[in-house]
């Protein structure tokens, strides 16, 4: 016997398939403010795993009509859980119905009750990545629709940026970021931090540093993540003076350096030959009761050896070995 949700699903398929398409988007999203959203959020529950799989199976069997069918389900307060939604998104992408992916995603965002996990965002980013390089207009149009659905919150845009960054789609991510600003929306701290990481990974440190200054001019104070991201990426390109500049600035701003900050600056100094300042900060870090990582110990030892300071390197090695157990525990906790 079919479950209640399955019967309801089937009862609406026939009607849904005959909904006329009057716009260039064959699956337009009905954006509406539902006054009962709060009560739905507080009371609805997902069906069982088997019922969810039944819904997914039926959706996948007619994937071309998935947006229309999902709209019909949502109208009846029938919701897919995050795992099921992502199955539908992935199926649309893998069957080369790439145009369906953003439409299904928009429907989920518009519903206000549809949860979206990180996998769903990644699926959207990968779908755009598979398209031709001239898909920027479509991507920006998609961005506009998401902004319309979610303003003034930047959460969905931020997570999309992060997903495009994970896929190494730097140009697409920066296009979204620039477009958001051009549309007079205000990026928040998380938006900027995500853009810093994307630009830094791509080696575009000049743009990253410029954007860092722009953020401060906009009145958004950098946090620990902001400083760590910028310091780490300029270090990779040997900009030690810039590392020290931002390290000093963050301390003056009352942002306390952590292990990641010290590791980047200490290693950068050591590699550049400024071993004295490197050791001074290494000692300062320990005075602040920040446990050096195994990576940092090895970096300091390696840099000392390169400078011919073998005895000091041996001393640091003995220190590392004496606290090996605490370093190992710290590493395990960090991974957890």
Q: What is the mean pLDDT of residues 164-171?
A: 94
Report the number of secondary-structure helices (H) and strands (E) in the chain: 19, 0
pLDDT tens string 139-161? 999 999 999 999 889 999 999 99
DSSP state for residue 221 in the 8-state scheme: P
How high is the pLDDT of residue 47?
A: 66
Same fold across 143-220 and 221-336: yes
Q: Above pLDDT 70, what percent of the chain?
A: 82
Highest mean pLDDT among 7-11, 28-32, 37-41, 52-56: 52-56
Flag the least confident range among 26-30, 53-57, 289-293.
Answer: 26-30
pLDDT given for residue 115 in this prediction = 67
- The answer to whether the beta carbons of residues 78 and 9 sit under 8 Å apart is yes
Quote the pLDDT of residue 204.
96
Tell me the CATH class for 143-220: mainly alpha
Q: Where are the domains of the chain?
A: 63-131, 143-220, 221-336
CATH fold of 221-336 reads 1.25.40
The CA-based angle 316-321-322, given to 5 degrees, is 95
> Per-residue pLDDT averaged across 3-11, rounded?
46
Tell me the per-residue pLDDT of 300-325, one tens digit each, with 9 for 90 and over: 999 999 999 999 999 999 999 988 77
More confident residue, 329 or 138: 138
Report how far residue 63's alpha carbon sits from residue 88's, in angstroms, rounded to the nearest whole number. 8
Query: Residue 132 pLDDT > 90, yes or no?
Result: no
List pLDDT tens digits, range 76-97. 888 788 888 888 998 988 888 8
Cα 247 from Cα 222, distance rounded (Å)? 12
What is the model's pTM? 0.80
Q: What is the mean pLDDT of residues 116-121?
A: 89
The C-alpha atoms of residue 229 and residue 199 are separated, in whole angstroms, by 10
* Across 91-106, average pLDDT: 87
pLDDT of residue 69: 87
pLDDT(16) > 90: no
The structure tokens 């991201």 sit at 229
SS in 3 state form for 193-215? HHHHHHHHHCCCHHHHHHHHHHH
């Amino acid at each position: 016997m079919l479950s209640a949700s399955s019967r309801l699903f089937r009862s609406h398929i026939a009607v849904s398939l005959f909904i006329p398409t009057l716009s260039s988007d064959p699956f337009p999203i009905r954006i509406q403010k539902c006054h009962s959203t709060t009560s739905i959020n507080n009371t609805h529950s997902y069906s069982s795993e088997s019922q969810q799989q039944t819904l997914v199976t039926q959706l996948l069997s007619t994937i071309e009509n998935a947006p229309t069918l999902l709209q019909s389900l949502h109208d009846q307060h029938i919701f897919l859980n995050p795992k099921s939604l992502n199955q539908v998104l992935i199926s649309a992408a893998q069957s080369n119905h790439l145009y369906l992916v953003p439409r299904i995603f928009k429907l989920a965002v518009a519903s206000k009750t549809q949860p979206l996990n990180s996998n769903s965002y990644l699926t959207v980013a990968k779908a755009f990545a598979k398209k031709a390089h001239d898909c920027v207009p479509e991507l920006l149009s998609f961005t506009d629709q998401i902004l319309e659905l979610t303003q003034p919150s930047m959460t969905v845009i931020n997570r999309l940026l992060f997903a495009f960054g994970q896929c190494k789609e730097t140009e697409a991510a920066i296009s979204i970021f620039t477009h958001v600003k051009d549309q007079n929306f205000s990026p928040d701290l998380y938006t900027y931090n995500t853009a810093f990481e994307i630009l830094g990974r791509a080696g575009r440190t000049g743009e990253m540093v410029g954007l860092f200054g722009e953020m401060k001019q906009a009145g958004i104070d950098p946090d620990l993540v902001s400083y760590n991201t910028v310091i780490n990426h300029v270090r990779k390109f040997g900009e030690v003076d810039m590392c020290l500049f931002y390290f000093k600035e963050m301390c003056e701003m009352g942002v306390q350096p952590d292990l990641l900050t010290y590791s980047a600056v200490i290693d950068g100094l050591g590699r550049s030959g400024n071993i004295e300042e490197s050791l001074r900060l290494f000692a300062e870090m320990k005075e602040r009761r920040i446990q050096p990582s195994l990576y940092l110990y090895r970096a300091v030892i390696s840099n000392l050896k390169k400078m011919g300071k073998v005895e000091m390197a041996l001393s640091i090695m003995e220190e590392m070995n004496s606290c090996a157990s605490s370093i190992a525990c710290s590493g395990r906790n960090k991974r957890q």
